[in-house]
């Protein structure tokens, strides 16, 4: 929704917004764009009546602002519908969909096109460091969008991505997620097949090879040419790692091969790179140009983003909130840092996590770490004690942010890698931890 606001502001529209507990990097983006943000959802925020209200999918019937909106007959729409009608008409849309990697893949793709001089527009659910913003209108026919399967709005329960009508579609992977709105994987697959139905016959569907859930979606019917990708496996697009952590690899397609050296880590990011490369090639980029773009990619905020290096203690921020994402991120880091100690601070915050759907699989996800602090956030519907007890590595339960920061600072030593994992603000722990580490260093100087 913040990205939608930025796109509308770029078009000269006066924008105000209502939200709760907004945190960086989106809060700082909105402030820099001069967009007034009002805390909470009050009827007064819609007085005087705006020309149009764009409603996010976090709001439901019974919300004071929603009820006032409906009673006052103010025109309204959803973010995806506004985007489709105002910016995507007549453009070549490149969409990145899937359970994991959407933000990184769409960020990579936007940067590859930018480096090739194609000036794409984009809407991404994160902030690519190369751009510094999560959305822009662009100056070409190309538009890159992170295509989310979550529902559109309280009045439109279809997945957001059915609005985008991509010509180039990346399907990164598919697992069960969003237990708050989907009863099972089959329900998610149905939405993905709705998406496939919107891709033109002259387009391209790019998909991860040997992904059973995606294969089942494709088997329901696909009317578009396909291209597969795999790391160390049979596929149209292949990545062959040269280094264990994946910072150097051979990108192969159509009998051609090019060596890529880039700053990202892990097998999952190699898959993201393959999806983005295949999509960029579909609009005309050569493997050589793609390799140059990958090499200059600076990552995405909150995707294993290095926040600080304080006397050899490195602190990272990561958005991982699904068991697979947690596990693959930590495995990639382990390959990169060798025997160095990895300390993880993890807040299970997503709606699916809060419902406890993944609780049985959580302990094993942190096996690549040395020490894990599981934070029990307010409102979590179940006790994390069982996860701590079943942990394959040293683990502790935390219920207070201040005490958690104190414990981590006391434990940390030069050479450590501290990874903070949450899809929310985590009580501002990022700033607090960095500040405490800096104060400790100053007191010891």
Q: What is the pLDDT of residues 326-347, one digit of tens each?
A: 898 898 889 889 999 999 999 9
Q: Where are the alpha helices (DSSP H) in 283-424?
A: 287-295, 323-337, 351-354, 362-365, 385-389, 401-411
| Statement to judge: residues 241 and 381 lie in one domain | no
| Residue 175, domain CATH | 3.40.1190.10
The structure's pTM equals 0.80
Cα separation, 19 vs 355, whole angstroms = 23
- Split at pLDDT 50, 70, 90, the class of 356 is low
| 221 in a structural domain | yes
Q: According to the model, what pLDDT value does residue 354 have?
A: 66
Question: 283 with 323, same domain?
Answer: no
pLDDT at position 256, please? 96
CA angle at 412 for the pair 368 and 268, rounded to the nearest 5°: 30
Q: Which one of 249, 266, 295 terminates a domain?
A: 295
Domain final position from 19, 40, 74: 74
User: Would you say residue 353 has pLDDT above 70?
Assistant: no
Nearest Cα neighbor of 99 from 231, 224, 191 is: 191
User: Are residues 83 and 147 in contact, defined by beta-carbon separation less than 8 angstroms?
Assistant: no
pLDDT value, residue 325: 83
Could you tell me if 317 and 395 lie in one domain? yes
Has residue 401 got a pLDDT over 90?
yes
CB of 324 within 8 A of CB of 339? no
**What digits encode the pLDDT tens for the residues 124-136?**
988 898 998 999 9
Of 295, 317, 334, the residue that ends a domain is 295
What is the model's pLDDT at position 352?
Answer: 64
For the ranges 28-42, 263-277, 401-415, the lowest mean pLDDT is seen at 28-42
132 and 35 belong to one structural domain: no
Highest averaged pLDDT of the listed ranges 263-267, 297-301, 313-317: 313-317
What is the CATH number for 412? 3.90.190.20
Domain shared by 111 and 227, yes or no: yes
Residue 10: CB partners within 8 Å, gap ≥ 6?
A: 136, 137
pLDDT in tens, 259-279: 999 988 888 899 999 999 999
> Residues 137, 42: one domain?
no
Q: Are 191 and 158 in contact (CB under 8 A)?
A: yes
**What tens digit of pLDDT does each residue of 73-121 get?**
999 999 999 999 999 999 999 999 999 899 999 999 999 999 999 999 9
Q: With cut-offs at 50, 70 and 90, classify the pLDDT of residue 407.
A: very high
Within a domain: 300: no
Q: What is the pLDDT of residue 27?
A: 82
Token pair listed for 47: 């007085």
> Each residue of 361-371: pLDDT tens digit?
899 999 999 99
Q: Answer yes or no: are the C-beta atoms of 205 and 196 closer than 8 Å.
A: yes
Same domain, 368 and 279: no
Q: Based on the domain organization, do 312 and 290 belong to the same domain?
A: no
Same domain, 130 and 60: no
How far apart (Å, rounded) are the C-alpha atoms in residues 176 and 184? 7
pLDDT for res 351: 65
**What CATH number should be reported for the domain holding residue 36?**
3.40.50.720
Strand order of the β-sheet with 394-398 is 305-310, 313-318, 417-421, 342-346, 371-375, 394-398
401 and 321 within one domain: yes
What per-residue confidence (pLDDT) applies to 76? 98
Residues 17, 122, single domain; the answer is no
43: domain range?
2-74
233 falls within a domain = yes
Q: Which residues pair with 135 in a beta bridge?
A: 123
Closest CA to 273 of 225, 337, 332: 332
Report DSSP letters for 191-212, one per residue: HHHHHHTTS-TTSEEEEETT-H
Could you tell me the pLDDT band of residue 355, with boundaries at 50, 70 and 90? low
Of all residues in the chain, the percent with pLDDT exceeding 90 is 72
Note the helical H segments in 296-417: 323-337, 351-354, 362-365, 385-389, 401-411
Domain count, the chain: 3
Band of residue 315 on the pLDDT scale cut at 50, 70, 90: very high
Are 328 and 276 members of one domain? Answer: no
Let me know if residue 25 belongs to a domain.
yes
Residue 251: per-residue pLDDT: 97
Q: What is the pLDDT of residue 176?
A: 84
With respect to residue 334, please indicate whether it lies within any of the assigned structural domains: yes
Quickly tell me which residue has 């939200």 as its tokens: 19
Is 208 a residue whose pLDDT tops 80?
yes
The residue ranking higher by pLDDT, 20 or 5, is 5
Q: 149-178 as b/e, with b when 16 or more CB fall inside 10 Å?
A: bbbbbbebebbbbbbbbbbbbbbbbbebbb
Tell me the average pLDDT of the chain.
92
């Amino acid at each position: 929704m913040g990205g939608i606001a930025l796109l509308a502001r770029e078009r000269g529209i006066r924008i105000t917004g209502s939200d709760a507990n907004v945190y960086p990097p989106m809060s700082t983006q909105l402030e820099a764009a001069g967009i007034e943000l009002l805390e909470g959802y009050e009827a007064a925020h819609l007085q005087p009546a705006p020309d149009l209200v764009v409603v996010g999918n976090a709001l439901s019937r019974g919300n004071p602002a929603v009820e006032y909106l409906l009673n006052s007959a103010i025109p309204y729409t959803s973010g995806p519908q506004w985007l489709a009608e105002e910016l995507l008409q007549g453009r070549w849309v490149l969409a990145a969909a899937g359970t994991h990697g959407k933000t990184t893949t769409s960020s990579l793709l936007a940067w590859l096109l930018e480096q090739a001089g194609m000036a794409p527009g984009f809407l991404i659910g994160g902030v690519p460091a190369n751009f510094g913003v999560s959305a822009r209108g662009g100056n070409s026919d190309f538009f890159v969008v992170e295509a989310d399967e979550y529902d559109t709005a309280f009045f439109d329960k279809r997945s957001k991505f059915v609005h985008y009508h991509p010509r180039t579609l990346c399907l990164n992977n598919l697992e069960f997620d969003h237990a708050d709105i989907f009863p099972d994987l089959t329900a998610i697959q149905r939405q993905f097949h709705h998406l496939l139905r919107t891709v033109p016959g002259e387009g391209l569907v790019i998909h991860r090879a040997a992904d059973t859930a995606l294969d089942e979606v494709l088997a329901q019917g696909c009317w578009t040419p396909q291209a597969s990708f795999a790391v160390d496996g049979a596929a149209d697009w292949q990545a062959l790692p040269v280094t264990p952590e994946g910072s150097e690899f051979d990108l192969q397609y159509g009998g051609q091969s090019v060596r890529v050296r880039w700053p990202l880590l892990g097998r999952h990011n190699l898959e993201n790179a393959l999806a983005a490369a295949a999509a960029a090639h579909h609009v005309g980029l050569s493997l050589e140009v793609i390799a140059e773009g990958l090499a200059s990619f600076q990552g995405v905020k909150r995707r294993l983003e290095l926040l600080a290096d304080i006397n050899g203690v490195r602190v990272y921020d990561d958005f991982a909130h699904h068991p697979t994402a947690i596990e693959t991120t930590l495995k990639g880091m382990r390959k990169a840092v060798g025997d160095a100690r990895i300390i993880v601070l993890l807040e299970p915050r997503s709606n699916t996590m809060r419902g406890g759907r993944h609780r049985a699989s959580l302990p094993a996800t942190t096996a690549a770490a040395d020490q894990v602090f599981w934070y029990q956030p307010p409102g979590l519907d179940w006790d994390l004690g069982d996860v701590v007890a079943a942990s394959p590595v040293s683990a502790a339960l935390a219920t207070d942010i201040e005490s958690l920061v104190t414990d981590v600072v006391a434990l940390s030593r030069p050479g450590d890698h501290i990874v903070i994992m949450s899809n929310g603000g985590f009580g501002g722990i990022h700033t607090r931890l960095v500040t405490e580490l800096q104060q400790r260093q100053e007191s010891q100087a």
